[in-house]
C-alpha cells in the first residue's frame, strides 16, 4: 500500500468501517490548503479498485487546484456502495462524521453517485461540505469555463471565432447541456449525442443541434470534439476516427492514458487538458465555501482562459503535448516555486 501511495504521491489515506459503511478518503497534497474533492458512491469490484480510484482522483484534484489558483489541496472520497438493500441516510451520516473527524483537512463535495440531498445529510454531521443545497449548483460555472476554453482553443489553433464552426458534444449532462447553450449563443453549430433521448431532443429543439447515435459521435466532421460524459474516451482506437482539430470538453480523465496526449500531439490535434478547462466547478465550490461573491468567481473562471493559452503556447514552443505541459506546470506549483514562476516551470 505504501508503494501505491508513493506512486500517486499521496500523503494520507484514511479508512472508515462501520457496519455497511466502508469508505476511503485520500489526501494527495495539502501544500496549498485543505484538500477539496468529491465523494463517490458507486460499486467497486474490489477494495483495491476503490483505493486506487480515490488516490488517482485525489492527485488530479491537486493538479486542478494548482492551475486554477485556488487555495486547496487535492482530495477524494470513495464510499463503497453496498449491494442489495441499505440505509442511505445512515451511510451518509457516518460519512459526515468521518469527514468531521479529519478536522478540516478534507472538504467534501458531490461526485458520481452522490446528490445534493446526500450532501445535506453530511452537512448535518460536518462543517466541511462545499456542495450542499445552500451552496448552489456548480454546473453553469463549469460550463462557462469550458466554453471560454473552447473559444480560446479555436482562436489559438484556427485563428477564428467560434461563430459558424462545428462542435461535436459527447454527452448532455448538466454541464454538457449548459455548454451547448453557451456555444449555441456564441454562434456555433452543434452535433450532439447522449444515451438519454430526451436530452438530445431538447438540444435539437433549443439549439437546432444535429443528433447522432452515441456510437457515431467520433466520426463527425467538426472543428472541436467535446467529451462531456465518461472518462477514457480518447484512446488509440477513437483517435483514429476523429475528424477534428481540437479536443476540448468538460469530462474528467478524457485520455485513457497519459501517452495518448503524445499521439494527439503527433496528429496535430490541440488538446485542452481536462482538469484545466473544467475547473470552474472547483473554483465555484472553493469560493462559495469561503463565502466569496459571484463576481470573484466569474473573474477567476475567466483567468482559466489565460492558463490554457499559456499551455498552448508552451506546447507549441517546446514541441510537447499539452497534457505534459499542464502536468509540469502543476507539479512546479505543488513541489517547487509556486504560481509566480509558472512559465519557468517547463
Q: Are 168 and 226 in contact (CB under 8 A)?
A: yes
Of 76, 94, 144, 157, which residue is the catalytic one? 76
Note if 76 is an active site residue: yes
DSSP 216: G
Q: Are 282 and 68 in contact (CB under 8 A)?
A: yes
d(CA 103, CA 114): 22
Instruction: End-to-end CA distance of the chain: give it in Å, rounded.
Output: 31
Residue/partner pairs of 254-262 with CB below 8 Å, 24 or more apart: 254/227, 255/323, 256/232, 258/323, 258/324, 258/327, 260/234, 260/235, 260/236, 261/321, 261/322, 261/323, 261/324, 262/321, 262/324
Residues identified as active-site: 76
Amino acid at each position: 500500500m505504501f508503494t501505491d501511495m508513493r506512486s500517486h504521491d499521496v500523503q494520507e489515506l484514511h479508512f472508515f468501517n462501520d457496519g455497511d459503511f466502508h469508505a476511503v478518503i485520500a489526501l494527495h497534497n495539502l501544500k496549498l490548503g485543505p484538500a477539496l474533492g468529491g465523494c463517490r458512491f458507486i460499486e467497486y469490484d474490489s477494495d483495491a479498485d476503490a483505493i486506487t480510484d480515490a488516490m488517482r482522483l485525489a492527485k488530479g484534484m491537486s493538479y486542478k487546484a494548482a492551475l486554477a489558483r485556488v487555495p486547496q489541496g487535492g482530495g477524494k472520497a470513495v464510499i463503497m456502495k453496498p449491494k442489495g438493500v441499505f440505509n442511505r441516510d445512515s451511510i451518509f451520516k457516518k460519512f459526515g462524521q468521518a469527514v468531521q473527524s479529519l478536522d478540516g483537512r478534507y472538504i467534501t463535495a458531490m461526485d458520481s453517485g452522490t446528490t445534493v440531498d446526500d450532501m445535506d445529510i453530511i452537512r448535518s454531521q460536518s462543517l466541511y461540505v462545499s456542495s450542499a443545497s445552500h451552496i448552489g449548483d456548480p454546473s453553469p460555472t463549469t460550463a462557462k469555463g469550458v466554453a471560454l476554453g473552447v473559444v480560446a482553443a479555436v482562436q489559438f489553433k484556427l485563428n477564428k471565432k467560434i461563430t459558424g464552426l462545428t462542435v461535436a458534444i459527447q454527452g448532455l449532462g448538466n454541464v454538457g447541456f449548459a455548454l451547448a447553450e453557451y456555444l449555441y449563443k456564441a454562434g456555433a453549430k452543434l452535433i450532439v449525442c447522449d444515451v438519454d433521448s430526451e436530452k438530445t431532443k431538447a438540444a435539437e429543439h433549443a439549439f437546432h443541434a444535429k443528433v447522432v447515435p452515441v456510437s457515431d459521435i467520433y466520426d463527425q466532421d467538426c472543428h472541436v470534439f467535446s467529451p462531456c460524459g465518461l472518462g477514457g474516451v480518447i484512446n488509440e482506437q477513437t483517435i483514429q476516427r476523429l475528424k477534428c482539430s481540437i479536443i476540448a470538453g468538460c469530462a474528467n480523465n478524457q485520455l485513457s492514458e497519459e501517452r495518448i496526449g503524445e499521439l494527439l500531439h503527433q496528429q496535430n490535434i490541440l488538446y485542452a487538458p481536462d482538469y484545466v478547462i473544467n475547473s470552474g466547478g472547483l473554483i465555484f465550490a472553493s469560493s462559495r465555501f469561503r463565502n466569496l461573491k459571484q463576481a470573484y468567481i466569474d473573474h477567476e473562471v475567466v483567468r482559466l482562459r489565460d492558463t490554457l493559452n499559456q499551455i498552448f503556447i508552451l506546447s507549441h514552443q517546446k514541441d510537447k503535448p499539452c497534457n505534459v505541459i499542464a502536468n509540469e506546470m502543476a507539479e512546479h506549483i505543488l513541489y517547487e516555486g509556486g504560481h509566480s514562476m509558472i512559465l519557468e516551470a517547463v
